[in-house]
């Protein structure tokens, strides 16, 4: 397994934790596809899934932060935009064969887990007030 879910990643919100778990599962699935050398078509589908779910999740998270008036909303949103830009750039580089999927997965894994532990934990109190 490429990434294993741990309670240290929990932001104490069922919907957000479920989305975080789903993104980790998609990264694990893509890692498995690459490790098993399954084929370019399956890799492309996995990449599209990750990009869609990642963008959907980040927008949902931003909506919650905005709704609860999270004081660091704009900075957090900018981090999300930077991730989406960088992953799009990396996936485009993969099309040109200048970067491997494995390298992309390592980047996303490091960014994602650090972001959850360091940055997402900051909005827990604010989002908890929404009682979702």
pTM: 0.90
The topology under which CATH files domain 13-128 is 1.20.120
Query: Smallest Cα–Cα separation from 71: which of 120, 132, 122?
Result: 122
Q: Express each pLDDT in 79-109 by its tens digit.
A: 999 999 999 999 999 989 999 999 999 999 9
For residue 64, what are the CA distances in angstroms to 1, 71, 98, 126? 31, 12, 37, 9
What is the reported pLDDT for 125?
Answer: 93
Q: Express each pLDDT in 8-65 by its tens digit.
A: 999 999 999 999 999 999 999 999 999 888 778 888 898 899 999 999 999 999 999 9
CA separation for the pair 21, 55 (Å, rounded): 15
Count CB-CB contacts under 10 A for residue 112: 19
Count CB-CB contacts under 10 A for residue 102: 13
Give the confidence band of 131 by pLDDT, cuts at 50, 70, 90.
Answer: confident
What is the reported pLDDT for 37?
Answer: 82
What are the structural domain ranges in the chain?
13-128
């Amino acid at each position: 397994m490429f990434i294993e879910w741990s309670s240290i990643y929990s932001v104490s919100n069922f919907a957000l934790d479920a989305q975080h778990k789903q993104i980790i599962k998609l990264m694990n699935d893509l890692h498995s596809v690459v490790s098993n050398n399954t084929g370019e078509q399956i890799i492309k589908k996995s990449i599209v899934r990750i990009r869609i779910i990642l963008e959907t999740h980040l927008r949902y998270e931003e909506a919650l932060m905005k709704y609860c008036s999270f004081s660091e909303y704009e900075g957090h949103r900018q981090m999300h935009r930077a991730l989406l830009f960088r992953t799009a750039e990396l996936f485009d580089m993969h099309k040109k064969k200048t970067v491997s999927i494995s390298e992309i997965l390592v980047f996303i894994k490091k960014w994602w887990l650090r972001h959850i532990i360091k940055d997402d934990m900051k909005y827990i109190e604010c989002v908890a007030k929404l009682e979702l």
